[in-house]
Structure 1
């Protein structure tokens, strides 16, 4: 697919997304969801880069503002009001990420006296660590493109708030761990288990933000989360998880020495990604009809694979990493197959697409035009 063709498709997808969610034309109560919005910000920046149309830059900035004023504040159905950080109005405006950001789920968070229901928990609000790191990355990209340090400051403040809330030392002692999901105000865990790739994602994202902020920003948090990373298994056959590993491997390569907290990490990440790709390719998922596939998970993989060629070139002078990165290249055709399948309008009629329309369309757009998302 040519760049001109992909730009047209992405432009249409992101115009539809803006209308569906109340970004453009703006609605008083827009529908914001942190994961999807992080990708969307990068997509608008990429459209700005490709077209030089400032309207797309303005949409990215407007989306950041909507996210902060929607997900940085309590829900309309919550008796609490104002910024979830508890800051007074003026200070909250200046520091909108200091209390983290809500997920944007349809149901209120589980109350302290409510029993845990795994099925319901997926639809309940709160804060996810891996959503917060995606937003840190989006803020960093806006700061770079807009040449405005306030966005990097907000990313730094979000990293500090997230790290302080999500990391903890178990009562039994031993090394630190991380919660997977926290309450809206970050006062209590909602799901105590640790996400498999959360420590890695945090380490890479903190390093990215520190490189943008300069100096010793987040040094304590980076050292802390690097210890949590050690010894954790990274291999997964989940396509979204594999894509995340590839994204982290590419960011580590771009960071170079700025991301070298422990030197064996890039090799470990690539080994896990290769193992996952082998298992996924053998599993035959891509031969199934649309009703049995989840677009956003597959598109997470195709986004990561879009960095494979650049990654192989970046690590060419490191024989151990170069060998691993070159092995990734055989899987790049999977990205073409995934994009081709989900750009087919017939497959977009499946319930697995329409039931997750906004996240699917935004991640398809990212896969087709990944430049700004994959940059640091």
Structure 2
């Protein structure tokens, strides 16, 4: 992104943040761990871009509020609303990544992330089988009716490594073992899953799992493009679209330096698109839109260069 485009993206995000606050959407709305993880990264990104301490202060406030509202003796609840009970591993992994990014500037948050990773790892992990997708809120067992997450080992592997390769070496090895088992047959077809997998691959682009998943995801994603300006939900659902999932695809594509024109088009398309449901005002839509315009420290610029 050139300097002019970067300045435009920053201005867009600052205006969006002001609007979200005025509407009590975010960060002064209900807590939701996935959205708040992206939000922490966004605030850290703005601090890194502008050097304005209030953004870092806001990130610290947000972490404290998440812990106050959603924190449990072990782990962190999915969200504040009554139907957001239980714990998702992939949400927790995204939160660990956010803590790692904040920890670049305030080291205590890195340790907070390491401690949380150690709390949740054993309850979610079933060695030789996988990572449980969703757990009971006290982590006493799987949530009724759920199985293993297809991508959760990858989520954990990357987030653990972003925190500390040495401190979490045993946990990282557990996830690597699962990745080695899953990777030959894993084909992701859901839009957000593809976007997030592309994002994960860019951190370790020379590793075999990353090379294979990047190739598969890009091939599948190419078949999901609608010329109106969006990626459909699944290849067999050509007319189904969600703004927030497209923004996740955008982040993944920017991480691996692919399809820049489609990234531009989808940002334009969803600027005016309205789904007519709760997602039009939902924090997840607008925070992830900000991440699509300004991925910031979601993207590792050093490893990203290998994709150019």
TM band (smaller chain): 0.7 to 0.9
Change (3 A) 1:21 1:70: farther
Q: Is the 8 A contact 2:221 2:231 kept in 1?
A: no
Give the equivalent residue in structure 2 for 1:158: 116
Report the TM-score, using the length of structure 1 for normalisation.
0.71
Within-5 A mapping of 1:322-341: 329=258, 331-341=259-269
Residue 168 of structure 2 is aligned to residue 210 of structure 1: no
Q: RMSD in angstroms over aligned alpha carbons?
A: 2.4
Change (3 A) 1:287 1:372: closer
Give the equivalent residue in structure 2 for 1:307: 255
User: What per-residue deviation string (whole Å, max 9, x for no partner) do you get for residues 215-269 of structure 1?
Assistant: x21111111121111232332222211111111111114xx7xxxxxx4222222
Give the equivalent residue in structure 1 for 2:271: 343
Give the equivalent residue in structure 2 for 1:95: none
Q: Is the 8 A contact 1:14 1:44 kept in 2?
A: no
Structure 2 Cα separation of the partners of residues 182 and 17 of structure 1: 31
Structure 1 Cα separation of the partners of residues 26 and 251 of structure 2: 26
User: What per-residue deviation string (whole Å, max 9, x for no partner) do you get for residues 56-82 of structure 1?
Assistant: 12111111111111110xxxxxxxxxx
Residue 98 of structure 2 is aligned to residue 138 of structure 1: yes
Give the equivalent residue in structure 2 for 1:325: none
Change (3 A) 1:286 1:186: same
User: What SS does structure 2 have at the residue aligned with 1:235?
Assistant: coil
User: What per-residue deviation string (whole Å, max 9, x for no partner) do you get for residues 292-319 of structure 1?
Assistant: 521111110001111223xxxxxxxxxx
Give the equivalent residue in structure 1 for 2:68: 69
User: 194, 201, 221: which one pairs with 1:249?
Assistant: 201
Q: Is the 8 A contact 2:199 2:256 kept in 1?
A: no
Change (3 A) 1:195 1:230: same
Residue 246 of structure 2 is aligned to residue 298 of structure 1: yes
Aligned residues: 288
User: 79, 86, 92: which one pairs with 1:104?
Assistant: 79
Q: Is the 8 A contact 2:26 2:283 kept in 1?
A: no
Q: Is the 8 A contact 1:168 1:178 kept in 2?
A: yes
Displaced runs of 4 or more, over 3 A: 16-19, 21-24, 282-285
User: 361, 367, 376: which one pairs with 2:292?
Assistant: 367
Give the equivalent residue in structure 2 for 1:178: 131
Change (3 A) 1:333 1:22: closer
Give the equivalent residue in structure 2 for 1:286: 230
Structure 2 Cα separation of the partners of residues 65 and 287 of structure 1: 35
Q: Is the 8 A contact 2:69 2:80 kept in 1?
A: no
* Structure 1: 5+ residue stretches without partners: 25-29, 73-83, 86-98, 108-122, 170-174, 257-262, 310-328
Give the equivalent residue in structure 1 for 2:44: 45
Shift, 1:281, TM fit? 2.7
Q: Is the 8 A contact 1:14 1:40 kept in 2?
A: no
User: What per-residue deviation string (whole Å, max 9, x for no partner) do you get for residues 259-300 of structure 1?
Assistant: xxxx42222221222232233237988388xx9521111110
Change (3 A) 1:69 1:370: same
Q: Is the 8 A contact 1:238 1:280 kept in 2?
A: no
Structure 1 Cα separation of the partners of residues 279 and 70 of structure 2: 25
Q: Is the 8 A contact 2:40 2:98 kept in 1?
A: yes
Change (3 A) 1:285 1:292: farther
Give the equivalent residue in structure 1 for 2:175: 225
User: What SS does structure 1 have at the residue aligned with 2:123?
Assistant: helix
Change (3 A) 1:140 1:185: same
Structure 2 Cα separation of the partners of residues 3 and 285 of structure 1: 22
Shift, 1:128, TM fit? 0.2
Larger radius of gyration: 1
Change (3 A) 1:131 1:61: same
